[in-house]
C-alpha cells in the first residue's frame, strides 16, 4: 500500500510502500529501503473501565504482541463483568494482586487469563517489552 | 535542509537501528490540569538537544492545538502560542489522531500546527516503531 510512512518519511505524499510482518517492517520510499523494527508494547492502565475511557482508548492502539498491565484503579478491568471484558479475552493481561486485595475484590470472578502479579514482576515485565505506554 | 527518506538527514537503512526516535503522546486536554504545559516543556527540552521527536496528539490531547485559545481573562500561559514556536526547534513531525478529531467535531484546519492526520492503524504503527515513548 502506497502512503507516506509516518515518522520516517518526510515527503508527506503517497510515496512509500511497506511490507513485512509483526516484528519487522520494510519501507521503501523512492527506491530507498529501510527496515523498521516493530516493537512490543506494554500498556499500563490505572483507570477503571466502568468510569474512564483509558482502557477503551488503549485498545485502539493495542496490536498483536502487546500486553496489558492493570494497577491502581485499573485493576477493576480484571473483573469478569466489566464492559470491555470480551475485548481482553485474547490478550495477555496482568494485574497487580495487592491492588485487587486492597479493594476487596479477591473473591470476585475475574477474566479468564488474567494473571495476578506483584511489583517485582511488573519490573521484570517492563524489561521484557520494548516500550511502555501509560494510559491514564 | 531536506532529508530524503529519513527524518534524520543522511541516515541509511543500517542506521535505522541506531536512530533515536522519541514518540511523545499527548492525551490530556489543556488548562484543566498542568500536564499539557509540563509536556510542552519536556518537548522543547528534547528539541534543544536535537533529539528527533514525533509528537502525537490523540484523544483529548487534540484540544491542545486548537486555534483561537485566548487566555486573557484567565491569566494563564497561552499553550497554543507556545506550540507555534515548535517549528524553531526542528519539531515538525506532528501527528494527530483522525478519529479523535472526528469525535470532537474538529477539522485539521482548525489546528495551529501542521499535523498529519493518521487513522488508527497508522497511529498504532507509528507508536510501535518508536525507540522510546513518553506519555503525557
**B window 56-75, beta carbon within 8 A of A:** 58-59
Reading the block at residue A48, the C-alpha cell is 477503571
pLDDT in tens, B104-116: 999 999 999 989 9
Average pLDDT over residues A22-50: 83
Q: Cβ B124–A60 below 8 Å, yes or no? A: yes
Average pLDDT over residues B91-109: 94
Average pLDDT over residues B90-116: 93
The predicted model scores a pTM of 0.85
Q: What is the pLDDT of residue B6?
A: 38
> Which residue in B3, B21, B95 is closest to A10 by CB distance?
B3
pLDDT at B28 over 50: yes
Complex prediction ipTM: 0.83
- Percent of chain B at pLDDT > 70 equals 86
A30 touches chain B (CB under 8 A): yes
**B window 75-134, beta carbon within 8 A of A:** 93, 95, 99, 116, 118, 120, 122-130, 132-133
Name the helix (H) or strand (E) containing A125: helix A119-128
Q: Is A60 helix (H, G, I), strand (E, B) or coil?
A: helix
Q: Cβ A131–B122 below 8 Å, yes or no? A: no
How far apart (Å, rounded) are the C-alpha atoms in residues B10 and B18? 13
- Cα B19 to its chain centre, rounded Å, is 19
> Which residue in A6, A37, A57 is closest to B59 by CB distance?
A57
Half-sphere exposure of A126 (CA within 13 A, CB side): 15
Q: Which residues of B touch A91 (CB under 8 A)?
A: none
CB pairs under 8 A between A and B: 91
Amino acid at each position: 500500500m502506497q502512503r507516506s510512512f509516518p515518522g520516517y518519511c518526510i515527503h508527506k505524499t503517497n510515496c512509500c510502500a511497506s511490507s513485512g510482518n509483526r516484528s519487522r517492517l520494510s519501507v521503501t520510499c523512492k527506491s530507498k529501503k529501510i527496515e523498521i523494527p516493530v516493537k512490543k508494547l506494554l500498556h499500563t492502565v490505572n483507570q477503571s473501565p466502568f468510569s474512564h475511557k483509558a482502557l477503551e482508548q488503549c485498545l485502539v492502539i493495542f496490536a498483536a504482541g502487546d500486553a496489558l498491565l492493570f494497577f491502581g484503579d485499573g485493576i477493576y478491568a480484571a473483573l469478569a463483568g466489566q464492559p470491555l471484558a470480551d475485548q481482553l479475552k485474547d490478550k495477555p493481561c496482568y494485574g497487580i494482586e495487592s491492588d485487587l486485595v486492597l479493594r476487596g475484590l479477591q473473591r470476585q470472578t475475574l477474566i479468564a487469563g488474567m494473571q495476578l502479579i506483584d511489583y517485582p514482576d511488573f519490573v521484570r515485565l517492563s524489561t521484557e517489552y520494548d516500550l511502555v505506554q501509560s494510559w491514564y | 535542509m531536506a532529508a530524503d527518506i529519513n527524518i534524520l538527514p543522511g541516515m541509511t537503512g543500517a542506521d535505522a537501528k541506531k536512530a533515536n526516535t522519541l514518540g511523545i503522546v499527548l492525551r490530556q486536554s489543556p488548562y484543566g490540569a498542568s500536564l499539557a504545559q509540563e509536556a510542552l516543556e519536556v518537548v522543547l527540552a528534547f528539541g534543544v538537544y536535537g533529539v528527533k521527536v514525533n509528537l502525537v496528539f490523540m484523544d483529548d490531547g487534540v484540544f491542545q492545538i486548537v486555534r483561537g485559545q485566548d487566555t486573557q481573562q484567565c491569566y494563564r500561559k497561552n499553550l497554543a502560542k507556545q506550540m507555534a514556536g515548535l517549528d524553531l526547534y526542528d519539531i515538525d513531525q506532528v501527528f494527530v489522531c483522525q478519529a479523535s478529531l472526528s469525535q470532537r467535531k474538529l477539522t485539521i484546519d482548525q489546528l495551529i500546527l501542521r499535523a498529519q492526520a493518521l487513522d488508527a492503524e497508522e497511529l498504532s504503527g507509528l507508536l510501535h516503531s518508536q525507540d522510546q515513548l513518553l506519555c503525557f
